[in-house]
Chains A and B, each alone.
Chain A
């Protein structure tokens, strides 16, 4: 750009204190310094993630196998959702740069318009991330299972056999013998998963929360396939078990009556996708980034209020928009790296 950045300055003036040797204002320079330190934080986190991943002996979760769902749609859409999130963030970065450009022309209306668009984009990204986290925490319908030989497998299938109802065979505190519990009475899948993880399902009978025992009426799973993710005595990483044998093994695990043979979703201790560190890094890195997006949206709102009050117009320049823009672009920049190292590679 024209102006001071390209102007020759003799060294006495340059380092004499009168002029900024970098031809930028104090505020912008400090924003750059802050961004470098923040970039080191994120760099450190991502390298720590790389360290854990490289020293890990077993199989690390694969992005396109872990993230393949879309809201309101069933079926397999590998990476589509994160790609959408990436696109939302890129677009909001573009609207931000357009706000800065409008500021350089002292176009207050333009700045307001593009700032509002940027804030909306930020909210969209935050909403997407909330859905992503919720999906990650709740997990799949099948979960990850531990086979008889100690190996662990994830499950792929065309569909999960729908649970129709539970019929009580032994009364508990709440349910009487012969009661038929349907979806209207309780979230059947939730109860089923809870019981399976705790080892409360045995011989197709489930022990419910109130202590009653009920038989399960369930449709068959369609085209079930087990993919081994951790070595056992017999099965090795990458092995696939298909067809009737896969259905039999899955049913045996669910009906084992042992706790923790099946894991659903993720928490800070364990997750169904891979080693516990995978879940921990997922929560920490995407959470830390999401917090940056959140504070970026707040800062953008504050600056937008300043723009609308005409504060920067009176000042004669929109450098505040430029500075908050630097932070916003940085958030986008970090996501580009998170996207690559968490989802793609």
Chain B
């Protein structure tokens, strides 16, 4: 029996052959970006990695790595997982609580780790 009270939201995502071409072009563009970032990361790791870089050089490379990782993650989530195409309310419901909680967790655990580390140093283990 045909039910008329169910809305098939999945049908909204259907598109034509021409639109498909545009979408595929975008997919290959994102692929190229992700590959380029990975290659950049590996080259930096091999020649200016933690074994050879120290102090502020290494700290800025580390920061660069984290930024590049977040860019990669952004492309995967927003483009490949189509979260960027969803309703704004859904997008922020997924992203905002996660980021708030993770930022809190990272802050609290890394701060705690330094305290634990210096306690080991002071009192021995």
Contact = CB atoms under 8 A, between A and B. Distances in A.
Interface of A: 1-5, 18-25, 28-29, 32, 36, 39-40, 43-44, 47-48, 50-57, 62-65, 78-80, 83, 86-87, 90-91, 93-94, 96-98, 100-102, 104-106, 316-319, 322, 325-326, 329-330, 332-333, 336-337, 339-340, 343-345
Contact of A23 (B9, B20, B120, B121): B9
B102 to A, nearest CB: 5
Contacts of A337: 69, 73
B66 A104 contact: no
A291 B20 CA distance: 33
Given A43-B105, A54-B117, A104-B13, A336 B69 contact: yes
A52 B90 CA distance: 35
Interface of B: 5, 7-17, 20, 23-24, 27-28, 31, 34-35, 38-39, 41-42, 45-46, 49-51, 62, 65-66, 68-69, 72-73, 76-77, 80-82, 85-87, 89-90, 93-94, 97-98, 101-102, 105-106, 109-110, 112-114, 116-117, 120-121
Contact of A55 (B49, B90, B114): B114
21 contacts: A3-B11, A3-B13, A4-B9, A18-B5, A21-B89, A22-B86, A24-B87, A36-B98, A55-B112, A64-B45, A78-B49, A83-B42, A93-B80, A97-B80, A98-B24, A100-B82, A318-B10, A326-B81, A333-B81, A345-B50, A345-B65
Contacts of B72: 336
A57 B16 contact: no
Contacts of A21: 87, 89
Contact of A25 (B5, B9, B116): B9
